[in-house]
Structure formats: structure tokens, C-alpha cells
Amino acid sequence: MVTAAAGRASRLPPLAPALTVALLLLPVSAGFLGVAAPSLGYMPALGGERLSALPFRELFAWPDLPRAVALSVLVGLAATAISLLAVMLIVAGWRGSRAFRALERALSPLLSVPHAAAAFGLAFLIAPSGWIARALSPWATGWERPPDLLIVQDPWGLSLILGLVAKEIPFLFLMTLAALPQAQPAKSEAVARALGYAPLTGWFKTVFPRVYRQIRLPVLAVLAYSMSVVDMAIILGPSAPPPLSVQVVRWMNDPDLSLRFRAAAGAMLQLGLVAAALLFWFGLEKAVAALGRRWVEGGGRGGGAMEGWLRLLGLALAALSAGAVFAGLGGLAIWSFAGLWPFPDALPEGPTLRSWMRHGPALAAPMAETLLIAAAATALSLFLTIACLEAESRHGLAPSGRALWLLYLPLIVPQVAFLTGLQTLALAAGLDGGRGAVIAAHALFVLPYVFLSLAGPWREWDARQALVARTLGAGPGRALFAVRLPMLLRPALTAAAVGFAASVGQYLPTLLIGGGAVRTVTTEAVALAAGGDRRAIAIWSLAQTAAALAPFLAAALIPRIAWRNRAGLRDG
């Protein structure tokens, strides 16, 4: 996590950073090997004794491959570009406004809604028999029955792109908010305005380059994620053929074990696609930078109608993103209490608790599993994060840019590309997943979020407080536990909540590492996608959302109660 910047001798070698690096690096590289070997035909446990090109030949013989590949690339690039554009327009055009503050307040709930629940909610909105069609029918559309239109799971992946944008805008927005103070936008904006630049033009010419430099890794993570997402793609994406990642998981889960060689080849192709897309994005960055420099040198002051339209576009995209998630959740809630709900009625008969009574008891066990896994993965991640950050403070280490890349590694390497490999290795070694393995796999994706969320407040904390405690006779342990951690209670709990929500939302690690034996509310909810029971889907999605959202409420409430008599920490 860190590299030495000071020549000061330390009594204990910083163990935590090494351990954390191992936790991040080992599974990803082992998983890569577990994919690479069978993709070349080698996996003795499955009867692959010799290297061969057969898996790739079979993969390329799949007639739908070009379409699956095109979907993966188009969905990834489109979702990333639209999300980034929306966030930049919102920050450039609306900072300090009421709309902006409203969006800031909506951020935590928007972030915590799991991808699968957001996808189901969106599907219930835009489906031919969804809320939007019902609201417009029959008076505007003339539809007495749901139209025979493929809106959800459309062949071009448009609804999948919409779902991804709705979830990635909040993520990039949060990362941008964290990056803004360092870019000192206020000063640059003031200078640009004084020189006669219109607000939006001035922001893009002065602040954007600095902000983008800082949110670059999150943007790359969004690109890689959007290209290889599985749970959202099962719900919103086309199915014949699906995006490549979904097809890889289908092959992985096929009872015919020989298909795993083809799955491995597909996972390698997915990895290659993401690598190629990242390279393409780097090229795009260079091109935009060159054009941007020319644009800046041109000295145009901007303004006019164009600027107004762009501001409006930013607001519309952000409102669409937040609205899709919130209205989707509302739709899920109504479905869960719905009695009979014939098309085109805008509201169902009811409300009734029938669906909750029918599906409620089945929720208990997967819910307990979900909470247990999330709590364990979050506790492990929080412990390693605090140990790393404390080692950084004690040994005077400075984080390097490379360490940050390492942290983003599990978020940038597509999940299908190494989780399938881990599953294959476990199979070869005769291990079957189980809860412990799933917790470890979750920690891999929870740790980066916990670390990114806590590192900022940790490093901003006034280290003189620790020095005061030490000069008063407190050892390093007491300075940590009696001073630093209590003062950082709020950010530590927020980091835990972010990690918890990330774990609750994990689909693929639970499915692949758990070998189907570990059932969480997320795996159960996604499994319902193929059926059409909207009431069951609504209940499982709401349970999933509640599991992710509850820790955020706790993180907001606990410091308020613990520090109710401490004005210095109450609002901090």
C-alpha cells in the first residue's frame, strides 16, 4: 500500500501493508492462472492434459461471438462516457445550487442500492407492462394490453446502459466530490470569470484537467465494470446472445464440465477486451487533451445558448439517474404489496401483505447469510485498512501512485476473468467454496472501497493530536485507540457502511466461489430474473436494498448519539 519516503529506522516492519498487498494480488494472479491454463486446454482435473488451441477454436466457432463482443464493448464505452459527461456537467454547471445539494443528499442511498435491485426497479419502470407504460395507457398510447415490444433486454443493450449509468453516476459523483477540494476550483473559477469566461467553459478549461487526473482510476474502474458486469446484464441485458461475460458464466455453470475450457477461453477474451478498451480510452484521453489544449489556446469565452443547453443536459441526466433508482425502488415497494394488478391500471388492488407472508419466511436464511458474510468481509477490510493507514502514519510512509493502482486492481480486472479461474483452481484442488472462501472473495472487493473511503479523512486528521497524546505519556496504541479512532468514528463507520453495501451487492463472487452452495439475498434475487414473478422479485430486491442501506443509517446515527454532547465532533 505504501512505499518508504523517509529514512527513519522503524522498530517493527510494517506488516499490514504487505499482508494487504498479498490479499489483493494473490487471488487476482492465482485466478488469472486458473483461467489462462484451461483456456489453453490444460487442466488435468478436467481431463485437459495437453496444451491445445481447442478452447479458443470452439469459442471462435460460436456464431454469436461477434455480437456478444460488440455488446460488451459498446455497453462499456457508452455507459462510461455518458456517466462521466453527466457528472462533469453537473459539477461544472450546478455546484453550489439547490439541485446540487439535493443530489449530494441523495448520494448515500443512491450508492448503497445494489446493482441488481436498481436493475429490477428500472425493469419494472420501463418494461412494456411497467409503470411508465401503465401511466400513459390507454389514454395516450391506446394500449389495452402490454405492447409486444422488447424494451427491457433490448438487443442493443440500451436498457442495460441506462441501468449502468443510473448506478455509475452516483459513484463518479462521489469520487469527484472527494477530488474537488484538492483541485481548488473556486480560485480558478474566479480567475476565469474575471477574464470573461462563461461559467461552464471556464470550468472545463481550468478545473476539469485537474479533476479528471484524480478521478481517472475510478473512471477506468467504471469502464471495466460496465464491460463485464453480470448481474445487471442478466436482468436488463439482451439474452440471445447476452454480453460475453454472461455467456462465460453460463458456460461455467453448465453441468457439462468440458464447457469450462470454452468458458476459460471466453474469460481470457473478456480480459483482452477490457485491456483493449482501456488502451482505447488512454488514446481517447490523449486526443481529448490535444483538442482541449487547442480549445484553451483559442481563448474563446464560451457562453450563449449552448452553455445553457449543456447545463440542462447535465441536470437531466443526473435527475434521470436518481429518478430511475428511486422510482424503481418505489415500484418494487408497490409490487411487493400489490394484490391483483391488471394492465393498464396505474395502481394495483390492495395493499395486501399476502406476498410478504408467502415469501417472507424464505428470506430469513439467505438474509442471515448475507449479513454474516458482509459483516465478516467488512470487519476484515476495516481492520486491514486501519492497520495499513496506522503503519503509514507511524513509519512516515507516503502512498505511491502504484499503490493506488494496486488498490484498484480487483475493480479493474473483470470479475469473470479471475473469479472463474479461482473456481477452477478450487475444483482442481478438491476444495469446495463454502462461506469462508466467499468471505475472503468479498473482502477482495470490499477492501478497496473501505480503504478509499477512510484514507482521505485519516490523512487529513491533525497529526498533532497524536503528538500531544504521546507527549502526555500515551504509547502509540493508546494514541490510536483512545484518541485517533474515537475522533475518526464517523468516517470509520461510513467506510464500514460503504464496504458492507459493496459486499451485499456482490453477485458473481458468491455464485462462483460459493459453488452455488452459499445463498445470499443477491444470488436469490438475480436467480428470480428468469422467472416472471414480479412480487417475489420485488420482495427479494427490497430485502437486498434494506441490507445495504441499514448500515448507512447506523453510520449516520451512531456518531450522533455517541457524540451528542460533543459539539466538536457532532457535525464534523
Partner 1 sequence: MGERGLRLERLEIAREGRRLVALDALIEPGEALTVMGPSGSGKSTLLSVIAGAPPPGFSVAGRVLLDGRDMTALPPEARRIGILFQEELLFPHLSVGANLAFGLRPHVKGRAARRARVERALAEAGLEGMAERDPATLSGGQKARAALMRMLLSEPAALLLDEAFSRLDAALRGQIRALVFDTARREGVPVLQVTHDEADAAAAGGRVVRL
The least distance separating partner 1 from the CB of residue 473, rounded to whole angstroms, comes to 5
Is-contact 222 83, C-beta < 8 A? yes
DSSP annotation of 184 reads: -
Query: Of residues 292-321, which lie at the interface with partner 1 (CB under 8 A)?
Result: none
The answer to the question of residue 566 lying near partner 1 (CB under 8 A) is yes
Cell digits of residue 537: 422479485
Q: 358 or 570: whose CB is closer to partner 1? A: 570
Secondary-structure percent of the chain, ordered helix, strand, coil, rounded to 5: 75, 0, 25
| Angstrom distance (rounded) from CA 88 to CA 216 | 13
The answer to the question of residue 467 lying near partner 1 (CB under 8 A) is yes
Of 139, 402, 462, 530, the one binding partner 1 (CB under 8 A) is 462
Contact region with partner 1 (CB under 8 A), list: 38-46, 59-67, 299-307, 475-483: 475-483
The least distance separating partner 1 from the CB of residue 478, rounded to whole angstroms, comes to 8
Pattern 378-397, binding to partner 1, x per CB under 8 A? Answer: ------------------xx
Contact region with partner 1 (CB under 8 A), list: 96-104, 219-227, 418-426, 458-466: 458-466
Of 98, 294, 402, 464, the one binding partner 1 (CB under 8 A) is 464
Residues near 18 by beta carbon (within 8 Å), at least 6 away in sequence: none
Is-contact 197 170, C-beta < 8 A? no
The answer to the question of residue 13 lying near partner 1 (CB under 8 A) is no
| Angstrom distance (rounded) from CA 321 to CA 498 | 20
| Angstrom distance (rounded) from CA 555 to CA 68 | 41
Contact region with partner 1 (CB under 8 A), list: 89-97, 231-239, 457-465, 523-531: 457-465
Residues near 422 by beta carbon (within 8 Å), at least 6 away in sequence: 27, 30, 31, 34, 441, 512, 513
**How far apart, in Å, do the first and last CA atoms of the chain sit?**
27
The answer to the question of residue 530 lying near partner 1 (CB under 8 A) is no
Helix then strand count (H, E) for the chain reads 26, 2
Cell digits of residue 191: 480567475
The answer to the question of residue 569 lying near partner 1 (CB under 8 A) is yes
Contact region with partner 1 (CB under 8 A), list: 253-261, 268-276, 425-433, 473-481: 473-481
Q: 145 or 570: whose CB is closer to partner 1? A: 570
Identity at 534, one-letter amino acid code: R
Contact region with partner 1 (CB under 8 A), list: 3-11, 132-140, 263-271, 428-436: 3-11
The answer to the question of residue 147 lying near partner 1 (CB under 8 A) is no
Contact region with partner 1 (CB under 8 A), list: 79-87, 278-286, 364-372, 486-494: 486-494
Is-contact 523 511, C-beta < 8 A? yes
| Angstrom distance (rounded) from CA 440 to CA 31 | 13
The answer to the question of residue 279 lying near partner 1 (CB under 8 A) is no
Is-contact 215 233, C-beta < 8 A? no
Residues near 317 by beta carbon (within 8 Å), at least 6 away in sequence: 82, 85, 86, 89, 90, 165, 169
Q: 9 or 240: whose CB is closer to partner 1? A: 9
Of 7, 298, 361, 531, the one binding partner 1 (CB under 8 A) is 7
The answer to the question of residue 568 lying near partner 1 (CB under 8 A) is yes
The answer to the question of residue 469 lying near partner 1 (CB under 8 A) is yes
Measured at the CA of 374, the angle between CA 370 and CA 377, to 5 degrees, comes to 140
How many CB atoms within 10 Å of residue 10? 13
The least distance separating partner 1 from the CB of residue 465, rounded to whole angstroms, comes to 6
The answer to the question of residue 457 lying near partner 1 (CB under 8 A) is no
Query: Position of cell 477490510?
Result: 381
Could you give the 3-state DSSP secondary structure of residue 473? coil
The least distance separating partner 1 from the CB of residue 461, rounded to whole angstroms, comes to 12
Pattern 390-429, binding to partner 1, x per CB under 8 A? Answer: ------xxx-------------------------------
Contact region with partner 1 (CB under 8 A), list: 195-203, 424-432, 463-471, 540-548: 463-471
Q: DSSP of 48-82, one letter per residue?
A: B-S--SHHHHHHHH-TTHHHHHHHHHHHHHHHHHH
Taking CA atoms, 249 is separated from 240, 295, 334, 417, 419, in Å, by: 14, 45, 32, 10, 10
The least distance separating partner 1 from the CB of residue 21, rounded to whole angstroms, comes to 20
Q: DSSP of 456-478, one letter per residue?
A: HHHHHS-THHHHHHHHTT--HHH
Q: 456 or 476: whose CB is closer to partner 1? A: 476
Rounded to the nearest 10 degrees, the angle between the axes of helix 115-126 and helix 158-183 is 130
Q: How far is CA 165 from the centre of its chain?
A: 11
Contact region with partner 1 (CB under 8 A), list: 222-230, 284-292, 470-478, 516-524: 470-478
| Angstrom distance (rounded) from CA 572 to CA 353 | 42
The answer to the question of residue 230 lying near partner 1 (CB under 8 A) is no
Of 313, 474, 550, 553, the one binding partner 1 (CB under 8 A) is 474
How many residues touch partner 1 under the rule CB under 8 A: the total is 31
The answer to the question of residue 330 lying near partner 1 (CB under 8 A) is no
Q: 322 or 454: whose CB is closer to partner 1? A: 454
Is-contact 206 189, C-beta < 8 A? yes
Q: 435 or 478: whose CB is closer to partner 1? A: 478
Of 12, 140, 561, 567, the one binding partner 1 (CB under 8 A) is 567
How many CB atoms within 10 Å of residue 6? 10
Q: 92 or 488: whose CB is closer to partner 1? A: 488
Rounded to the nearest 10 degrees, the angle between the axes of helix 158-183 and helix 305-336 is 120
The answer to the question of residue 483 lying near partner 1 (CB under 8 A) is yes
The answer to the question of residue 557 lying near partner 1 (CB under 8 A) is no
The answer to the question of residue 340 lying near partner 1 (CB under 8 A) is no
Using CB under 8 A as the criterion, which residues of the chain lie in contact with partner 1 when the complex forms?
5-8, 396-398, 462, 464-465, 467-476, 482-483, 486-487, 489, 563, 565-569
